[in-house]
Structure 1
Amino acid sequence: MHHLRIWMKKDPRYGKTYKSEKESDDVKKEIARLNAELKRTEEERDVLKKAAANFASLSE
């Protein structure tokens, strides 16, 4: 088994995924989109937290 791993490390085809470049680009685009959505929702959450704190202080 040891020799097989050495051979696989030397062969550039192993250790890499066999996805096409298009699939890889699609995945990168989806990750970027999800990161942007996450940032937007975190900003919305922060605004809502501040608004809730302001309303709570007004009602006291």
Structure 2
Amino acid sequence: MSKATQRRERRIIIHQQVWELRREGLSGFAIAKKLGIGVTSVFRYLRHPQFQNGY
């Protein structure tokens, strides 16, 4: 599996986790802290309910 494919799969997993935590009622800041990613990244994922290739 190529590095690009691995990175894409990781982003898909993070996208799913972000949306799952949002549905549970967590704030963007709480999601970022829990997943260890930046707040900007969280809000970028939350702009699109479906995964976008351009992340």
Normalised by the length of structure 2, the TM-score is: 0.44
More helix by share: 1
User: Which structure is richer in relative contact order (CA contacts within 8 A, separation 6 or more)?
Assistant: 2
